[in-house]
Structure 1
């Protein structure tokens, strides 16, 4: 199935992926100015970013209930909430206030994330086609565009609030087309809605590795280029933009690759590729070399998270799907609990170069995890 066909089939949740990526890309490109406005050290800023993790996990715990209660309008409600919440980071200059803002943003983004991934999983089950990589590629496209536009806005002297307000208007326009009915539950399912333990844990850890690496580059790549490598604002914005662009390319390519190779094989190879990119970024002497490292990392890590979510969707029953995906998302997004904090404090102690070398080690964990999921699939088959 072509990439165009995959996007056409999942165009409704796909637009949510695109808009959410646009916001997080614009946020990542403004990390240096947000951090400076708060007067926070690396370690403290990493701790403040932890607020998004609390919001994310809270949203993911209640997402299945929201899905059941709001039905076809669930994604619209979540998108409206994030459109309002994204106005806040540009106007808060108090450290404890920024932590609360990140909690609100994390809650809104987490709710939309679970609902749009569940809709894509529903479509995968209905069509028998892999669709996750194409949709996550749209997120990466939006992320790259958001980072570039925010970087250009910073160079032009625009205030952070102005940049975020522009993204909020786009999200408001997108949410009008996000109405989509959840998949119907046919007949009785003796297993109920409770999620099987091992599919959730193993697939969740796969997503954890991917999102942990992705989160560190998103939040700290601009600072690495601007501070460690003495780059300017536009050069710093190209760090997260490079990640977004290469992740988009990797996920579009992964859409085709996932139709030809086992998901677990792709996860193992991708983990090794992305680890090599983290090492290059750690050793970079110029912004251009850092872009190369971030690009290789993005190519590899791009397919790991979507495949983890897709694998659990195929290992559970339709009635278990929303709950299983929310649980996997909780495990995966728990990276936002420790990744910003570890990155910030390790940077303060040893510098960002050592921090990115640690990211490479984490990415290599995808090899044993991929083998474990492969063994589980064989037993269930």
Structure 2
């Protein structure tokens, strides 16, 4: 299936992926200025980012209920919440207030994340075509564009509020086209809607490894370039922008690769490639070499999360899908609980170079997890699951 066909088929949730990427990219590019405005150390700022994790996990716990209650309007509601919440980081300048803002941002973004991934998984089940990588690529495109625009805005002296307001306006426009009915729960399912433990946990841990690596680069790449490598604001913004662009390329390529190669094999190779990228970023003597490292990391890590989310959708029944994706997202996004904190405090103790070396070691954990998922697929195949 071509990339263009995949995007057309999933254009409604795809627009949500694109818009959410715009916001997180602009946020990542403004981390140095937001941190400076708060007057927070690396460790304290990493702890403040923990607020988004609390909001994310809370939203993911209730997302299936919200979806059941609001139906076709659930994505629209979540996107509107994101648009309103993204104005707040440009206003709040005290640490405790920023923490509460991150909770609200995490909640609204987490709700939209589960809903849009569920809609894509519904489309995959209905059409029999892989769509996850193409949609996550749209997120990465939005992320890269948002980071570049925010970096240029910072370089021109625009306040954070004005940059966030522009992204919020785009999100409001996207809301109008996000009406989409969830898939009907057809057939007699004797196991009900409860998600089986093994697929959720194994796929969730793979997503955790991938999202943890993404989160550290998103939140700390600009600071690594500007502080460790003495780059300017625009150069710092190119860190998350490079990640976003290469992740977009990797996910578009993954759309084709996932049709030709076994998903677990792709996950293992991608984990090794992304670990090499993290090492390059850790050892980089100049911003250009750091961009290379972030690019290699982005290419590798780009396909890991979408493939794991797609895998769990195939390992459960249609009635279990929404709850399973919600649970996998909770496990995966729990990386935001410890990734920002560990990155912040390890940076404060040993520096960002050591922190990125730690990211490389974490990425390699996806290899044994993929092997266990392969074993689970083999055991379930005879039963037609």
Q: Corresponding residue for 1:319?
A: 319
Report Cα offsets for 1:210-268 as digits up to 9, x if no partner. 00000000000000000000000000000000000000000000000000001100000
Q: Corresponding residue for 1:20?
A: 20
User: Is 2:238 the counterpart of 1:242?
Assistant: no
Report Cα offsets for 1:318-368 as digits up to 9, x if no partner. 000000000000000000000000000000000000000000000000110
Distance in structure 2 (CA, Å) of the matches to 1:131 and 1:263: 13
Distance in structure 2 (CA, Å) of the matches to 1:377 and 1:148: 41
User: Is 2:165 the counterpart of 1:187?
Assistant: no
Q: Corresponding residue for 1:348?
A: 348
Q: Corresponding residue for 2:173?
A: 173
| Misfit runs of 4+, over 2 Å | none
Q: TM-score, normalised to structure 1's length?
A: 1.00
Matches within 5 A, 1:326-341: 326-341=326-341
Report Cα offsets for 1:16-47 as digits up to 9, x if no partner. 00000000000000000000000000000000
User: Is 2:154 the counterpart of 1:150?
Assistant: no
User: What secondary structure sits across from 2:158 in the alignment?
Assistant: coil
Q: Corresponding residue for 2:279?
A: 279
User: Is 2:192 the counterpart of 1:208?
Assistant: no
User: What secondary structure sits across from 1:89 in the alignment?
Assistant: helix
Q: Corresponding residue for 1:136?
A: 136
User: Is 2:87 the counterpart of 1:87?
Assistant: yes
Q: Corresponding residue for 2:258?
A: 258
* Shift in Å, 1:187: 2.2
Q: TM-score, normalised to structure 2's length?
A: 0.99
* Shift in Å, 1:188: 1.9
Q: Which stretches in structure 2 are left out of the alignment for 5+ residues?
A: none
Distance in structure 2 (CA, Å) of the matches to 1:90 and 1:149: 16
Report Cα offsets for 1:280-329 as digits up to 9, x if no partner. 00000000000000000000000000001000000000000000000000
User: What secondary structure sits across from 1:21 in the alignment?
Assistant: helix
Distance in structure 2 (CA, Å) of the matches to 1:188 and 1:32: 53
Matches within 5 A, 1:104-143: 104-143=104-143
* Shift in Å, 1:185: 1.0
Distance in structure 2 (CA, Å) of the matches to 1:57 and 1:350: 30
Q: Corresponding residue for 2:301?
A: 301
Aligned residues: 381
Q: Corresponding residue for 2:62?
A: 62
* Shift in Å, 1:8: 0.4
Report Cα offsets for 1:56-112 as digits up to 9, x if no partner. 000000000000000000000000000000000001001000000000000000000
Distance in structure 2 (CA, Å) of the matches to 1:322 and 1:68: 10
Distance in structure 2 (CA, Å) of the matches to 1:306 and 1:180: 21
User: Is 2:53 the counterpart of 1:53?
Assistant: yes
Q: Corresponding residue for 2:378?
A: 378
Distance in structure 2 (CA, Å) of the matches to 1:371 and 1:56: 28
What is the Cα-based RMSD across aligned positions, in Å? Answer: 0.3
